[in-house]
Amino acid sequence: MIAFLLRRIGLLIPTFIGVTIASFGFIRLLPGDPVLLMAGERGLTPERHEALLKQFGFDRPLWEQFLDYFFAIFQGDLGQSLVTKEPVFSEFLARFPATIELSLCAIIFAVALGIPAGMFAAVKRGSTYDHSIMGTALVGYSMPIFWWGLLLIIFFSGILKWTPVSGRISLMFFFPPVTGFMLIDSLLSGQKGAFTSAVSHLILPTVVLGTIPLAVIARQTRSAMLEVLSEDYVRTAKAKGLAPVRVIGVHALRNALIPVITTIGLQVGVLLAGAILTETIFSWPGIGKWMVDSIFRRDYPSVQGGLLLIAAIVMIVNLIVDLMYGLINPRIRHTGG
């Protein structure tokens, strides 16, 4: 197991260096002089131009800039945002909990609905239930979620007026962030109605972000379940007259869950990509929205740092999924690579 772990981590190192180069290269590939772009119509004197180039380090050889950047990363220094002049890392951390909160809710939503739906469809294979569940799942899988979000806003916020239009909590409530997770903070604040307000703000974004993972998980659960159900030991159990609930719930599900867990892990990238759209639509102050804003504001150090951190998160989560899979299913330890 240790050898497997080491090999996995060893594989990550070149990828991580590559990701660093890619995110570093990003800012250098942009057309035009970043300093001139910042100055706009107002322009700037040649001296000031020179000074700014120097300040951002653009006047030195590329490899020197890269080495500086690379070693600074290990001290948690990703440079300063051009817009706020604050460290990119703290800008990222300030917004990260909002994204985590939303993503966790979305994945819980997807798992809580997706696994039962997939199981049900598998058990009732070929029935109308199966067809309608799988049909719905495919619709969900094909959904342009930015449009889906708009439709939900029109319906639930515009027509029914059940949910608020955007934000994380009603402006009426104010308490200093403790954990950064609005659901927890609102409970800790002890203010009446704060928690319900936070929940009502979360519902639509959760549904929108959870839609595609939900569809994927339902489909994956169904096919994993079908595979397990056709295996001999399940047939045997059935033949022995064990109650169907027991067969399906205990024997089949446990084995079917292995590939499903992998699928859930692989949804992290999907969630982060979806967060870009979902957060933009709902003015959700997380990293997806921050990345889009930074791209539009041409805040290159933020874009660069954000890309790197997001890629690192995806890599770490994938590693954890791999390891978990290795734990559950020892066979792949020896073939992985």
Partner 1 sequence: MTDETLSSTDQADTRPGGTKAVLAEFWHYFSENRGAVIGMWFFIAVILVAVLADVIAPHGPIEQYRDALLVPPVWQEGGDWRFILGTDAVGRDMASRLIYGSRFSLFVGLIVVALSLLVGVVVGLVSGFVGGAFDTIVMRIMDIILAFPSLLLALALVAILGPSLTNAMIAIAVVQQPHYVRLTRAAVMGERGKDYVTAARIAGVGPIRAMFFTILPNCMAPLIVQAALSFSSAILDAAALGFLGMGAQPPTPEWGTMLAEAREFILRAWWVVTFPGLAILLTVLAINLMGDGLRDALDPKLKRS
Partner 2 sequence: MKLSKTLLGASVGALFAASMLATGASAKTLVHCSEGSPEGFDAALYTAGTTFDASSRHIYNKLVEFERGTTTIAPGLAESWTVSDDGLEYTFNLRKGVKFHTTDFFTPTRDFNADDVVFSFNRQLKKDHPWNQYTAGAAWEYFDGMSMPDLLKEVVKVDDHTVKFVLNRPEAPMIANLGMDFASIVSKEYADKLEAGGSKEDLNQKPVGTGPFKFVAYQKDAVIRYKAHDDYWAGRAMIDDLVFAITTDASVRHQRLKAGECHFNPYPNPADLEAIASDADLKLPQQEGLNVGYMAYNTKVAPFDNASVRKALNMAINKNAILDAVFQGAGKAAKNPIPPTIWSYNDAIEDDPYDPEAAKKMLADAGVTDLSMKIWAMPVQRPYNPNARRMAELIQSDFDKIGVKVEIVSYEWGEYLKRSKAEDRDGAVLLGWTGDNGDPDNFLAVLLGCDGVGGANRAQWCNKEFEDLIQKAKVVSDAAERTKLYEEAQVVFKREAPWATIAHSVVFKAMRKEVEGYKIDPFGGHNFYGVDIKE
- Which residues in this chain contact partner 2 in the complex, by CB under 8 A? 31-34, 36-37, 39-44, 48, 52, 55-56, 80, 82-87, 91, 94-95, 153, 157-158, 161-172, 174, 176-177, 193, 196-201, 203, 280-281, 283, 285, 289-290, 293
CA–CA separation, 160 and 153 (whole Å): 10
d(CA 209, CA 198): 17
Comparing CB distances to partner 2, the nearer of 115 and 202 is 202
CA distance 4 to 337: 10
Q: How many CB atoms lie within 10 A of CB 245?
A: 9
Residue selected from 148, 156, 282, 290 as contacting partner 1 according to rule CB under 8 A: 148
Query: Which residues does 87 contact at the CB level (< 8 Å), separation at least 6?
Result: 77, 78, 79, 80, 81
Instruction: Output the smallest distance, CB 96 to partner 2, in A.
Output: 11
Residue 304 beta carbon to partner 1: minimum distance, rounded to whole angstroms: 9
Question: Residue 56 is which amino acid?
Answer: F
Count the site residues for partner 1 by CB under 8 A. Answer: 48
Stretch that binds partner 1, among 179-187, 236-244, 267-275, 323-331 (CB under 8 A): 267-275
User: What is the number of other CB atoms lying within 10 angstroms of the CB of residue 54?
Assistant: 12
Classify residue 241 as left (phi > 0), alpha (psi -120 to 50) or beta.
left
Question: At its nearest, how many Å lie between partner 2 and the CB of residue 276?
Answer: 14
Three-state DSSP class for residue 161: coil
d(CA 199, CA 197): 5
Q: Least Å distance between CB 103 and partner 1?
A: 12
225 binds partner 1 (CB under 8 A): no
d(CA 190, CA 212): 35
Q: Which positions touch partner 1 (CB under 8 A)? A: 11, 14-15, 18-19, 22, 26, 29-31, 135, 138-139, 141-144, 146-148, 150-151, 153-154, 158, 223, 226-227, 230, 269-270, 272-274, 276-277, 280, 291-292, 295-296, 303, 307, 310-312, 314-315
